Amino acid sequence: MFKKIIAVTALALVSFGMQAQNTVPVYLDDSKPMKDRVEDALKKMTTEEKIAMIHAQSKFSSPGVPRLGIPDNWMTDGPHGIRPEVLWDEWSQAKWTNDSCIAFPALTALSATWNKDLALLYGTSIGEEARYRNKNVLLGPGVNIYRSPLNGRNFEYMGEDPYLTSKMVVPYIKGVQSNGVAACVKHFALNNQETNRHSVNVVVDDRALYEIYLPAFKAAVQEGGTWAIMGSYNKYKGQQACHNEYLLNDILKGEWGFEGVVVADWGGAHNTKQAIFNGLDMEFGSWTDGLAWGKSNAYDNYYLAAPYLDMIKKGEVGTKELDEKVRRVLRLSFLTTMNKNRPWGSFGTEAHALAGRKIAEEGIVLLKNKNNVLPIDLAKTKKIAVIGENAIKMMTVGGGSSSLKAKYEISPLEGLKKRVGTQAQVVYARGYVGDVSSDYNGVASGQDLSEKRTAEELTVEALKVAKDADIVIFVGGLNKSDFQDSEGNDRKGLELPYNQDKLIAQLAKVNKNLVFVNISGNAVAMPWVNEVSGIVQGWFLGTEAGNALAAVLVGDVNPSGKLTFTFPVKLTDNGAHATSTFPGGDEVVYKEGLFVGYRWAEKEKIKPLFPFGHGLSYTTFQYGKVTADKKQMAASDQITFSVKVKNTGTRDGQEVVELYITDIKSSLPRPVKELKGFEKVSLKAGEEKNVSFTVDKTALSFFDDKKHAWVAEPGAFEAIIGASSADIKGKVSFELK
């Protein structure tokens, strides 16, 4: 009892912000260096307390040290909103009435903004939501590279380019962690498919590994300062990624100097000895021998629980590795739950909803706009036909672990009706039936999408509604059901599901003013692309989805989003499918190497449906001559490229100016060009601004797998300025001495 009183008193000193006295243990004194606090707490812990701290005690929590006043750690999905509570020992919903969150746009939409300030806003807002719910680890963001358009989990990630992803993830992390909540960047590494995800062994050459698949994680560690990293399910070099000698010890903690916690993805641990020695720090969700899903009191049987303790007691292993794991977990606690200056956060607020709407509006991409069919001119429009199940279907639910119980969700139909009001008639026809389910991962949407009419009857109605409308908005694409944009399985093909392609082609014949709004986190085939007037990439936009879409469709917001992955015409235009290496079997070989996305298309001279970086506007931009401040640079030097960009239209707008670098001659194969800079610039009608990019030799370097080092070879280079990877506005030559 006396020990308990001391612990509670010490914790109270922290809780009420009292000045640390000499009687306060070092670990509770936040004026002391972090290293000293960690070592002081560590030496006070028993071996049993240390073991308890490195594995789960419930579905989403791990123990602290009650005796020492160190709180539990509480994790939460996910990268797009704070997951509703589940029961302590089960996956079933706890059915709280106060855990309905703001659903933010999926990370594909965030990255499509190409706006680093919005990445910071996103991280700060979602971090506030996590903090209010007293979570201290947010299981996100996801930064795995878009290798194939069939990966079911692509919607959770930030596209195909490592540079863009790196620059967008850093402010997200800083925003989250400003709330005393750890970002847990995932999934490290090479988790680029859902098929056979728990056991597939990824074979990839070192150049592709270091140049394509690792940069965003490295930036998260060295620039973002992330406090946690989540391992992935797959294998690399025959070892599970959650306890992988090469990925975790050699690269993450060795080469990059990561000081944070490595968290196993739920069920990602498979072996006690490997978990001890190969870099795993915290184990969650394991499915150990003899256990079934949801079995109570399973946690002592986790790989890093009783089996580890038994090995220590028998003298089979020492405690050096255990102490290192606990040091990292203690550091996490001191940065989050033990930080007396940690803000309180806020949850489900209007400010967060508006932040999500702003991100959604800037992330929407206008892909095609023939004859300026958009924006909708309400002064000349009497009837708007909205067709498609995705115009009414809730998209904040589903998708796997990122499924959310949103406080509310505005559908595209609802948003358009609200915005148009009495200015025009808005009529709706479903057109097709997709998924009528209403319960995803335990989150019930409450929608009744059951349909008694036949497909033929729905088609007849859609064509009738479309025929006499001034404009038709078809809201289709994918959804977050299994085998679409969803964790657990990959898509089965590039085409649209539910016979949408046939319906779109029929609608185009009865109304030339047809706009296709693609709700998805993935590229889709568009065999009717030349038959429709407008195409909008609408993503999964969260709570304010309908309002954001309506604002762009009617022109309240000038679209400024750009694609972060290539839309191929057909599957074999993608490198992973051209080399027949997706998804593989027990093993998947990345034969395309570093030629991912636009790198593959340009190497093979394939014209995509829509290129990386593409996105139109309701105004026009003119680029001036690209200049360099010098023609030569030394390896220790920098060089600045500049271009003037002018808004030559009649509307205010934003343009993403993209910088690519070409190595004219290299000793190793290199892509035709690679993104090495981007800036989003706001321009009023008629306004001109100068946009500059300063780069150093890192922008010119490649990874030499034989030297195991980054190399910038002397020689000739080109700096290329484009409005997309295919829309080149100018270039300038320079030389690395």
Q: Which two tokens mark 48?
A: 């049993």
> What DSSP assignment string belongs to 35-67?
HHHHHHHHHH--HHHHHHHTB-SSSSEE--BGG
Return the amino acid letter for 415: G
Backbone angles phi, psi at 195, to 5 degrees: -60, 125
Tokens 């062994």 belong to residue = 201
Q: Has 265 been annotated as catalytic?
A: yes
Return the amino acid letter for 655: E
Strand pairing category for 715-722 and 653-663: antiparallel
Strand pairing category for 653-663 and 674-683: antiparallel
The residues, any chain, with a CB within 8 Å of residue 519's CB and separated by 6 or more, are: 390, 395, 412, 475, 476, 477, 478, 479, 538, 539, 540
Angle at the Cα of 179 (from 253 to 487), degrees rounded to 5? Answer: 65
Q: What is the DSSP letter of 178?
A: T
C-beta separation of 259 from 35 below 8 A: no
Give residue 720's Cα distance to chain centre. Answer: 27
* Omega before 141 within 30 of 0, i.e. cis: yes
- Rounded to whole angstroms, how far apart are CA atoms 721 and 286? 49
Give the orientation angle of helix 350-363 with respect to helix 545-553, to 10 degrees: 40
> What DSSP assignment string belongs to 242-299?
GG-IIIIIIIIIIIS---SEEE--TT----HHHHHHTT--BB-S---TT--TT-TT-G
Q: Of these residues, 29, 265, 281, 485, which one is catalytic?
A: 265
- Rounded to whole angstroms, how far apart are CA atoms 678 and 656? 7
The helix/strand/coil state of 399 is coil
The residues, any chain, with a CB within 8 Å of residue 633's CB and separated by 6 or more, are: 639, 697, 734, 735, 736, 737
Q: Where are the beta strands (DSSP E) in 316-402?
A: 365-369, 383-387
Q: What is the DSSP letter of 695?
A: E
The residues, any chain, with a CB within 8 Å of residue 379's CB and separated by 6 or more, are: none
Q: HSE, CB side, 13 Å, CA atoms: give it for residue 402.
A: 30
- Rounded to whole angstroms, how far apart are CA atoms 155 and 107? 7
The residues, any chain, with a CB within 8 Å of residue 535's CB and separated by 6 or more, are: 366, 367, 368, 515, 516, 518, 526, 529
Known catalytic residues are 265
